[in-house]
Amino acid sequence: MSGSYILGIETSCDETAAAVVRDGEKLLSNVVSSQIATHQPYGGVVPELASREHLRAIVPVVRQAIKESEQSYESIDAIAVTQGPGLAGALLVGISYAKALAFALEKPLITVNHLEGHIHAVLLEEKQKGNLQIKFPLLALVVSGGHTHLFLAEQRERGWAYANIGRTRDDAAGEAYDKVAKLLGLGYPGGPIIDGLARHGDPKAVKFGPSQIKHSNRGTPKAEQTPHDFSFSGIKTAVLRYVELEGMKESVIARQQALKGISKLTVENVLPLCDKKTLDLVASFQRAVVNDLVSKTLEAARGREARTLFVTGGVAANSELRETFTRRAANEGLPVYFPSRKLSTDNAAMIAAAAYPKWLAQDFANAEFSAEAAMVLR
């Protein structure tokens, strides 16, 4: 069978992932080994543990991805790996392994920015469905545990180019989900649990004013300011204050105790431990975050006369975010695309897909490159 087969490797945070994608548009295998159980007791990712778990998982995960794709190490055309942004030690595991593999197999190596990967997750799946009609300008909201960014994306002759026109000034949206979940005793990661609990509460019960998610450029050097910025640390503090003022601390501690022994938290086992006040708070928090993300993104889309919208990254798995974007973008006649839930959160298919234009342009990495924890997407 003809075509170009790219093996993608992703180890930037707490998922060890490998995938094989043909021609940037056909997903042949997608293996993700999650470390959630390792980090859960700490309520967040512990970098040293993440590196150790990647080391343990990388060889079998890549082997399985090759096997499931019905390819072999020899038949792969190139190896793509996440260079950054992410945890330096975690990135290095994927990079070292990718380098060794490329050297041993005498295959070219391609470096990919993790955020570009999230954008290409959407392209991969839409191309696979055969129904992608991207009209430019294309605006992409990348919203995950570590990032909340707006990019204007452009396809050029030798690959893609990006302009970062918005970003969070403090916490990322996913980080706010994780921190709020932690302070409410709802386990880690917070996104999926809050997503499931929110539908059982009243989103109008607690008022979070715009001041809680308003960004301030005070003290930010001009060069670091973007026109469409976000801020999510204020709402986290507002939730904390509400918990204290409303005397909810005891119920949080009781819930933490009850959930201690459970390694895989689900909405079903957390829901019976939440009173109405907690569910209302969770629903109101989510409504405020979703409305802010949607409003600011649509405002940027209007300002830039965007004709296509992508929403991607872990938080793009959120049901209310998807529904609200779909409804409000339709009102403006703007087509909006999301990845499937599986490709919203971290995976390596998106890395292999983002590498394809670089493969076509023969844009290969030399052996000297290293991890870039704060890598910028351009």
Query: Pick from 315, 329, 350, 371: which binds ligand KG4 (CB under 6 A)?
Result: 315
Whose tokens are 């019976």? That residue is 272
Place of tokens 């501690």: 253
Identity of the residue, 166 or 174, whose beta carbon is nearer to ligand KG4 in the bound complex: 174
**Separation between Cα atoms, residue 318 and residue 176, nearest integer Å:** 14
Q: How far apart are CA 193 and CA 278, in angstroms?
A: 13
Q: Which of 187, 149, 174, 194 is nearest to 286 (CA)?
A: 194
Name the minimum Å distance from CB 233 to Zn ion.
Answer: 20
- Measured from the CB atom, the residue of 66 and 115 that comes closer to ligand KG4 is 115
Between 76 and 289, whose beta carbon lies closer to ligand KG4? 289
> Tokens at residue 14, please?
């707490």
Q: Please tell me whether residue 335 adopts helix, strand or coil conformation.
A: coil
Residue nearest to Zn ion (CB): 144
Neighbours of 77 (CB within 10 A): 14
**Residue whose pair of structure tokens reads 């190596």 in the numeric block:** 109
Which DSSP string corresponds to 162-230? EEEEEEBSSS-HHHHHHHHHHHTT--SSHHHHHHHHHTTS-TTSS---GGGG----TT--GGG--SS-B
Q: 346 by DSSP, 3-state: which?
A: coil
Say how far apart CA 149 and CA 139 lie, in whole Å. Answer: 10
CB of 224 to ligand KG4, least distance (A): 21
Nearest approach, Cβ of residue 334 and ligand KG4 (Å): 22
Site residues for ligand KG4, 260-299, by CB under 6 A, read: none
Decide if residue 116 touches ligand KG4 (CB under 6 A): no
| Residues 137-176 contacting Zn ion, CB under 5 A | 144
Out of 171, 178, 229, 292, the residue judged to bind ligand KG4 by CB under 6 A: 178
The piece of 17-25, 54-62, 97-105, 314-322 that touches ligand KG4 (CB under 6 A) is: 314-322
Instruction: Please report how close the Cβ of residue 269 comes to ligand KG4 at its closest, in angstroms.
Output: 17
Site size with Zn ion, rule: CB under 5 A: 2
Residue 333: CB minimum distance to ligand KG4, A: 27
251 binds Zn ion (CB under 5 A): no
Interatomic CA distance for residues 289 and 235, integer angstroms? 8
146 scored as a contact of ligand KG4 (CB under 6 A): yes
Beta-strand (E) ranges in the chain? 5-10, 15-22, 26-34, 78-84, 109-113, 138-143, 148-156, 159-167, 308-312, 336-337
Could you tell me which residues come within 8 angstroms of residue 376 by beta carbon, excluding any fewer than 6 positions away?
85, 164
Residue 116 binds Zn ion (CB under 5 A) = no
Q: Which of 8, 24, 108, 145 binds ligand KG4 (CB under 6 A)?
A: 145
Based on CB atoms, which residue is closest to Zn ion, 43 or 86?
86
Q: Which is nearer to Zn ion, 116 or 346 (CB)?
A: 346
Binders of ligand KG4 in range 179-208 (CB under 6 A): 189-192, 195
**What residues between 329 and 368 interact with ligand KG4 by CB under 6 A?**
345-346
Report whether 144 contacts 118 (CB < 8 A). Answer: yes
- In the complex, minimum distance from the CB of residue 113 to Zn ion, in angstroms, rounded to a whole number: 11
Chain contacts with ligand KG4 (rule: CB under 6 A): 13, 144-146, 174, 177-178, 189-192, 195, 313-315, 317-318, 345-346
Chain contacts with Zn ion (rule: CB under 5 A): 144, 346
